[in-house]
Amino acid sequence: MGDFDFSIIATNWRFLAEGLRYTVQVTLTAMVGGILLGTLLALMRLASLWPLQWLAAAYINFFRSVPLVQVILAVYLILPLLLQFLTGRLIPIGADNSAYFTFTIFEAAYYAEIIRSGIQSVPRGQVAAGYALGFTYSQTMRLVVLPQAFRNMLPVLLTQTIVLFQDVSLVYAIGATDFFGAADKITQRDLRPVEMYTTVAVVYFVLCFALSRLVKYLQSRIAIIR
Amino acid sequence: MNYHWDWLFFFQEADDGLMYYQWVLSGLGWTVAVSLTSLAIALLLGSAFGVMRTTPNRWLIAIGDTYVDVFRNIPLIVQLFLWFFVLPELVPRDIGLWMKQDLPYFVTAVIGLGLFTGARIAEQVKAGINSLSRGQRFAGLALGFTEWQTYRYVRLPMAYRIVLPALTSEAMNVYKNSAVTYSVGILELYFQYKQIIEKTSQVLEITIVITLAYFVVAFATNRLFAWIEQRSRVPGMIAGGQGGK
């Protein structure tokens, strides 16, 4: 332990920071995209048309029952095949770009379940009240139900985002250079596993711990008084 | 699509004389072994730390909270790398060498995954115990039970029943998380998936098969827990659930 070499971190901090930036970018993209797609899926799942319900349930259950690492690799390999089939041309995507897509579609399934329970936590009377005021379905959802639902589920959505932030480290499977990937590549070159992996662990811990405390604080602040 | 479908490749012989479907089966075996062992460790650790967090003792609470905070806020793959590549360098030289050379990968991986999952289970167990009314503990103490006995005979039997649905989804998560252990050399299902793709390029067939395999083990676990839930139900209690329906 005595020979923990901080200079390794100092000389490589730029590469590590690049990795962390990529991790944050994937997290934010997947969060925004996942919540949008997840809202759509949740509304489909709660719709009165059974084909919509069935489609949404199939999507959600599928992604919730496969390991993320497998999806990351499968999309990375299958997406180019699919694009080639659709456009007739070979389009190289690259590991870094395919991860944005993978995490968005994967996290959407998890966000959808959170959003569904959020929507269901809004009392039925609110929907009835919307219709009674002459609102259409989309107006009722947009102006009455979703704003309340999102307020209720904000802490859970953010907690899921912290999980997502940690899960980005799994792009290791396709060799993309996220924060952990960057540290791993430096380790392969300099053979300093202790310094590199410990740094990653500490940084992840500090960030996620701080964020989860923030979520806890938020939870107490925004609880709806009924 | 100019993809060449070939389902029969599973019956072709691989480099090591086995057929590809046998690679899949051996991977499945390792996945189940890693998952079940980790789950057992996680249940023990999770219960111990979960209970600690509900005791009146300030120090026990602090230890339990620290465990949960540390293991929930570091990604699983980073935790596994810490156990495999960092810990052997920090302990005395002889022990480090032994860990690197003689300690089976399986043991380290299972402990890593167990500690990671245990933190989540500790959270559930704590929530389960806290959902019981205070009167349960008081009643136990009034009957002359020690603090430990109130857990053993009064609170835990109820708390476990309450958190069984949450434990079910944790148990299903373990299968998915066990895929990450490929990164530290466990030859489980995902490792075989990766390897078969490299050898044969039959991406679509193998993706379908592996996905189904994961689905089957997770579903079997779900049914097993539903069965436990039904068998352990206390008549008249809502918390006993409907047997996972």
- Checking if the pLDDT of B46 tops 90, the result is yes
Provide the pLDDT for residue B17: 82
Which residues is B19 bridged to in the sheet?
A: B13
Say what the pLDDT of residue B77 is: 97
Residue among A59, A68, A197 with most chain B CBs within 10 A, to mutate: A197
- Contact with chain A for residue B70, Cβ under 8 A: yes
- The confidence band for A81, taking pLDDT boundaries of 50, 70 and 90, is confident
**Per-domain residue ranges for chain B?**
7-240
CA A133 to chain centre: 36
**Domain assignments of chain A as residue spans, ordered by start:** 6-222
Least confident of A143-157, B9-23, B225-239: B225-239
Tell whether A212 lies on the interface with B, counting CB pairs under 8 A. yes
Q: What is the CATH number of domain B7-240?
A: 1.10.3720.10
CB of A172 less than 8 A from some CB of B = yes
Mutate to test the interface with B, among A8, A20, A70, A106 (most CBs of B within 10 A): A70
CATH architecture of structural domain A6-222: Orthogonal Bundle (1.10)
Q: Is the pLDDT of residue B239 over 70?
A: no
At B15 the pLDDT is 81
Percent of chain B with pLDDT over 70: 96
Assign A200 a pLDDT band (cuts: 50, 70, 90).
Answer: very high
The CA-atom distances, in angstroms, between A222 and each of A24, A154, A225, B213 are: 25, 9, 9, 42
Res. A113: pLDDT tops 90? yes
Give the amino acid at B39: L
- pLDDT tens per residue, range B206-224: 999 999 999 999 999 999 9
pLDDT value of position B243:
42
* A183 and A199 Cβ atoms separated by less than 8 Å: yes
Is B108's pLDDT higher than 60?
yes
Q: Let me know: does B239 contact B229? Beta carbons within 8 Å.
A: no
Q: Which one is predicted more confidently, B31 or B5?
A: B31
Predicted pLDDT of residue B240: 45
Q: How many CA atoms lie within 13 A of B42 on its CB side?
A: 32
pLDDT reported for residue A84: 86
Q: Whose structure tokens read 């919307």?
A: A130
pLDDT tens per residue, range B165-181: 999 999 999 999 999 99
Residue B39 CA to residue B36 CA, distance in Å, equals 5
Q: What is the mean pLDDT of residues B26-50?
A: 96
Opening angle at CA B240, ends B235 and B245, nearest 5: 115
Check pLDDT > 50 for residue B241.
Answer: no
pLDDT band per the 50, 70, 90 thresholds, residue A4: confident
A158-179 mean pLDDT: 95
Whether B1 shows a pLDDT value over 50: the answer reads yes
Interface of B with A in 184-223 (CB under 8 A): 190, 193-194, 197, 203-204, 207, 210-211, 214-215, 218-219
Tell me if chain A has a CB within 8 Å of the CB of B74.
yes
Say if residue A174's pLDDT is above 60: yes
Mean pLDDT of A59-69: 94
Range with the poorest average pLDDT among A83-92, A103-112, B82-91: A83-92
pLDDT tens, residue by residue, B51-95: 999 999 999 999 999 999 999 999 999 999 999 999 999 999 899
pLDDT for position A219: 86
Q: What is the pLDDT of residues B85-103, one digit of tens each?
A: 999 999 998 999 998 888 9
> What is the rounded average pLDDT of the residues A118-123?
91
Question: Band of the pLDDT at A224, cuts 50, 70, 90?
Answer: low
Mean pLDDT of A170-198: 93
Judging contacts by C-beta atoms under 8 Å, the chain A residues touching residue B180 are: 67, 69, 170
Q: Is A197 close to B85, i.e. CB distance below 8 A?
A: yes
Asked if the C-beta of B100 comes within 8 angstroms of chain A's C-beta atoms, the answer is: no
